Amino acid sequence: MQRKNLSYIDFIFRSGLYILITTLPLFSISAQERCAVPKILEERARNNPNLSTQQFENWLSSQQILQKVLSPLRTRKEKVTVPVVFHIIHNGEAIGTGGNLSKERIDRQLEILNEDFNRLNADTTETLDEFKALASSFDIEFIYAKQDPDGFETSGIVRIPGSLVDYSYQERSILTAESYWPAEDYLNIWVADLAGGSLGWAEFPISNLEGLEEASNNRLIDGVTIDYVFFGENPDSPTFESKGRTLTHEMGHFFGLRHIWGDGGCSVDDFCEDTPTARNSSTGCNLGKITCESLDMVQNFMDYTNDACMNIFTEDQKSRVRTVVENSPRRLSLTSSPALEAPPVYDVDLGLSEVNSRYTGSCSGNFNPQITVKNQGLLPIGNYSVQLFVNDILEESIIVEDTLNSGEEKTIYFSLLNFNEMGEYSIFYNVDLIGSFLDERTDNNQKIEYYQRIQQASLPYEKSFNNITPWIIRNPDEEESWQIFDVGLGVPFYGNRQNFGEREDIISPIFDFTTINVPELSFVFSQVGDSIPNNIKIYASYDCGRTFNDLIFSNSITDLSTAYPTDTVFIPEHRLDWDTVKIDLNRLKDEPSVCFSIVAENRLSNNFYINEFRVQESSKKNREIDIIRWEDVNPLVCNETLEGVITVKNVGRENIDSYEIQILENDNLVNEFTMNNEVLVPGQETQINLIIPVPSSNINEYEIQVITPSNDADIVNSLYLPFSNDCVEELPPLRLSLNENGRDNWYEFNPDKDAGWTFNPNLLAVNSNSSQINTKGSEDWLISPLLDVSRVNYLGLIFDISYRKPFRQSETFEIYISDEGGKYFKSLIYSKSGDSLATSLGNDIKEQLIWRNEFVDLSPYVFRNKIRLAFKIKHDNGQDVNLKNITFFVGQSPPPAYPNTLEPFVIYPNPVQNEINLHLNLEIAEEAFFQILDLNGKVMLEFIEPKILNQFISFDVSQLAAGVYILRLNTDRISATERFIVIK
């Protein structure tokens, strides 16, 4: 027998059919692929990129540990009861024939389930001696549900002709829709003819950790599904004799158990310590199987062995299952379900069934009210009336005189209602007996639903949410819901952590999309980055809010976390606490009636907020080429032509096969190109080499234009190339000066003409101004002077950096070194972004910056003789990057911290024997004259350094006799001396 979980789905191939399938070219399933878990998991990962089984396991482990520590004797020994409903989905056969199983077979399957889960199975005596001490009872009893969702008595068995002949796991939503009872109160077990060789599958329990977002959304398929052939006892089942253990196995998955080999091999665990590791699944019943240097537990219900071989669950499996039962919301709620108790039985009891939908609407304002009446009492009822109230005003009363026998029901149809005014209408139904009989139970005599006539709004549309009107809230659970806060529209999830999985809807006005060419929806949102963000989706309706079936946005694709987690209720305070999502609605442009439902699902996280909602003409054109960035830059030239590579991108919606590039200087055209050699599809980038004639002036700016032809006006996008004829060479050491009168020939390159790098003398730093630049991905450069490194063997770069990383945005800082004597910047020597760049974290702006010192060894590049460095910032509209103390020094390792002194240099060691070191720290680089003198003023050694700043200088003093000497330093600005002692 083969059983395999898909984390949520246990997809199992029926062995008999497997042999048949492998002979068919259509399927091409090899023996190694008889369980399609890898393919299904790949599909699941694509659809839910945040899904993480490991995170669920971490949560489950923490719950188990907590429970063992705090309450070892708590409900572990208390038996819990779970109500079961069997949905028998058949093909029209008589009861007891084919898939329409007999009640006796269903009864026996329920007995088997209870035997296996409580160690009452007759084959416990066959458990191997090695494992008998580990065997455990789960103390869980499964019973037939005693009342249905409407409060009527039930046998716990529902028989429904299916819409399909058989069902694959991909069609499980179709199968469960054939017959479904709320998964919070009923353990749904669907029994049908399963396609694809599947024996069955089960849904894993939901948790409150990141990675299982889809579990709550799957409440409509939550339960267990079994092929009718392997349901209960069936000696005629193929490959092995069914003894009802397929349901036992799948029920283990339903309560959180994994396969005992962990679906991975010896190194993969099933998170139960007392189940030995196994390399793979087992078939047949090889009791001596050893795969991971220990005896495999092939008799465990969570292996793939034959039914007759299975007979054990373990203590750790019990701990795992009971942890899930006592903590996972929909498993816990089963143990207190009203279905555990039979409904009260009265002689006279007339009640109303639930309405189909608590909320509805239509474009016309017409509504057809109807309600179903059921005689739930023992005696027949002959006369009763059903009333319809609209907003608490009696609209219509219908008297029925037909006899309604016990258990019978009748649907009552009222006159058509027309709601002309916009807004919400409560539709209230009530049933009363007529005559001398009194209804002995009245709590089932009223039902309510709501009709919402949604207001229309013109486009473009903008809502800032300082009030709700004309939006409409749908709040079926009458718990937390959308409301207005000081910061905008939100849901107070933080204070409502008991309502896991509940959905809160708010409905927009209706828009006519035929009045807009290219529609775009955008909203501004805020939410902390909890382990599981709240589930946010936006659906579109084309029938004025009656149905919302078109999912246009989901945060499983676009993360909506904007701020770091907090232990208190989250209220957005800072600019970076908010961000914007834009949704292209071009496919809706011909729809005359569209409204949106924003659905927030409670994931036990913090509050979620929206403060702007817009529907307007998209900024995205049908045809547009834009310049994205410079790939190579040489804005500093020495009498040569300017060259470079730019990247352009098709940012429109249509293919573009022709566009122009023009280069202008002082609005005069100096060069142009027609690009028609390739077709650019939407989103495609390409690189273009640019050669520009020798500039007519030493300092100026070129404008690079890319022109896209259009049926209307041509679309022109520009990038700017400021340049300077800068051939001045500097010698190291060198430090960036923040003196406004001169910056040592440092140069700012700002192709977008936005804020860019600026010098801040108050901070003694340069600032990227990323917080002011809205164009994400734009770049700015800070370029060093041309350095003559021909006279040094070693060269280092040190600088201090400060960057407070926000939660959502991430700036990138890179350093390039030039090739070809400072002409191009192609060699990347430093790159950090996000967390690796950060010196602190937070969306707020701190007054005191936190700095980190960085060192880059430039010695491998001194062979080039002349170099430049470019410091590039890539903006993300987050926080600013600050740099200070950018210094080139002569050396191969970062210098130690300079002593806390105002002196321009220090000497060490002192006394000295052979070699003395000078640690220099000047504010301005300049030429220096050094002398070593004895106490009589005799010059023992002297030399000139063409430029000093902050480097180390070593002197060989081994030839000096023992004694006291004086080191003298003279520059144009300073004169300083220091004594030192030579010892022998």
Mapping DSSP to helix (H, G, I), strand (E, B) and coil, where does residue 31 land?
helix
Report pLDDT for 215.
Answer: 43
SS (H, E, C) 863-876: HHCEECEEEEEECC
- Structural tokens at position 441: 């139970």
- Looking at the predicted structure, is the pLDDT value of residue 19 above 60? no
Q: Name the least confident of 103-112, 414-423, 623-632.
A: 623-632
Report pLDDT for 500.
Answer: 67
Q: What is the DSSP string of 839-864?
A: SEE-SS--SSPP-EEEEEE-GGGGGG
| Residues 750-762: tens digit of each pLDDT | 888 888 999 887 8
Identity of the amino acid at 158:
V
The catalytic residues are: 250
Whole-model pTM: value is 0.68
Identity of the amino acid at 39:
K
Cα–Cα distance measured from residue 86 to residue 228, given in angstroms and rounded to the nearest whole number: 11
C-alpha distances in angstroms, 470 versus 127, 427, 453, 571?
67, 20, 11, 25
| Partners of residue 472 on adjacent β-strands | 507
- Looking at the predicted structure, is the pLDDT value of residue 214 above 80? no
| Partners of residue 82 on adjacent β-strands | 142
Cα–Cα distance measured from residue 84 to residue 110, given in angstroms and rounded to the nearest whole number: 9
Report pLDDT for 889.
Answer: 85
**In this structure, are residues 229 and 240 in contact, taking their beta carbons and an 8 Å threshold?**
no
- Looking at the predicted structure, is the pLDDT value of residue 6 above 50? no
Report pLDDT for 149.
Answer: 86
Cα–Cα distance measured from residue 200 to residue 194, given in angstroms and rounded to the nearest whole number: 8
Binned at pLDDT 50, 70 and 90, residue 57 comes out as low
Name the average pLDDT for the chain: 85
Cα–Cα distance measured from residue 843 to residue 756, given in angstroms and rounded to the nearest whole number: 21
**In this structure, are residues 625 and 719 in contact, taking their beta carbons and an 8 Å threshold?**
no
Q: Which residue has the tokens 């010196």?
A: 839
- Structural tokens at position 213: 């977002």
Cα–Cα distance measured from residue 307 to residue 241, given in angstroms and rounded to the nearest whole number: 7
For 438-585, where are the alpha helices, taking DSSP H only? none
Cα–Cα distance measured from residue 544 to residue 565, given in angstroms and rounded to the nearest whole number: 38
Binned at pLDDT 50, 70 and 90, residue 374 comes out as very high
Region 388-413: mean pLDDT is 94
Report pLDDT for 244.
Answer: 95
| Partners of residue 409 on adjacent β-strands | 374
C-alpha distances in angstroms, 592 versus 245, 456, 584?
55, 11, 17
Query: In terms of residues, how long is the chain?
Result: 984
Cα–Cα distance measured from residue 418 to residue 195, given in angstroms and rounded to the nearest whole number: 47
Q: What are phi and psi of 15, to 5 degrees?
A: -60, -40
Mapping DSSP to helix (H, G, I), strand (E, B) and coil, where does residue 383 land?
coil
Q: What percent of the chain has pLDDT over 70?
A: 89
- Looking at the predicted structure, is the pLDDT value of residue 822 above 70? no
**In this structure, are residues 846 and 568 in contact, taking their beta carbons and an 8 Å threshold?**
no
Q: Name the least confident of 1-5, 333-337, 444-448.
A: 1-5
Q: Name the least confident of 382-396, 461-475, 530-544.
A: 530-544
Domains and CATH numbers, the chain: 5-340 (3.40.390.10), 350-453 (2.60.40.10), 461-617 (2.60.120.200), 625-725 (2.60.40.10), 729-889 (2.60.120.200), 905-982 (2.60.40.2550)
Cα–Cα distance measured from residue 240 to residue 88, given in angstroms and rounded to the nearest whole number: 23
Q: What percent of the chain has pLDDT over 90?
A: 53
Report pLDDT for 26.
Answer: 26
C-alpha angle 128/130/131, rounded to 5°? 75
Q: Which of 787, 705, 779 is nearest to 748 (CA)?
A: 779
pLDDT higher for 506 or 629?
Answer: 506
| Residues 159-198: tens digit of each pLDDT | 999 888 999 877 887 888 889 999 999 999 999 999 877 8
Cα–Cα distance measured from residue 468 to residue 484, given in angstroms and rounded to the nearest whole number: 7
Region 277-282: mean pLDDT is 89
Quote the longest CA-to-CA distance of the chain. Answer: 134
- Looking at the predicted structure, is the pLDDT value of residue 701 above 50? yes
Report pLDDT for 163.
Answer: 83
C-alpha distances in angstroms, 613 versus 370, 465, 492, 594, 842?
36, 8, 19, 15, 26
**In this structure, are residues 718 and 660 in contact, taking their beta carbons and an 8 Å threshold?**
no
- Looking at the predicted structure, is the pLDDT value of residue 381 above 80? yes
Report pLDDT for 727.
Answer: 77
C-alpha distances in angstroms, 213 versus 185, 208, 221, 526?
21, 9, 14, 19
Report pLDDT for 602.
Answer: 81
Cα–Cα distance measured from residue 908 to residue 948, given in angstroms and rounded to the nearest whole number: 18
Report pLDDT for 818.
Answer: 86
Cα–Cα distance measured from residue 804 to residue 840, given in angstroms and rounded to the nearest whole number: 5
Phi-psi region of 779 (alpha: psi -120 to 50; beta: other; left: phi over 0): beta
Q: Which of 436, 312, 425, 295 is nearest to 360 (CA)?
A: 425
Half-sphere exposure of 164 (CA within 13 A, CB side): 17
C-alpha distances in angstroms, 788 versus 95, 116, 730, 949?
95, 83, 6, 15
pLDDT higher for 407 or 580?
Answer: 580
Cα–Cα distance measured from residue 105 to residue 232, given in angstroms and rounded to the nearest whole number: 6
| Partners of residue 716 on adjacent β-strands | 707
Report pLDDT for 588.
Answer: 93
Q: Which residue has the tokens 């068919």?
A: 24
Pairing of strands 715-725, 747-749: unpaired
Cα–Cα distance measured from residue 86 to residue 227, given in angstroms and rounded to the nearest whole number: 12
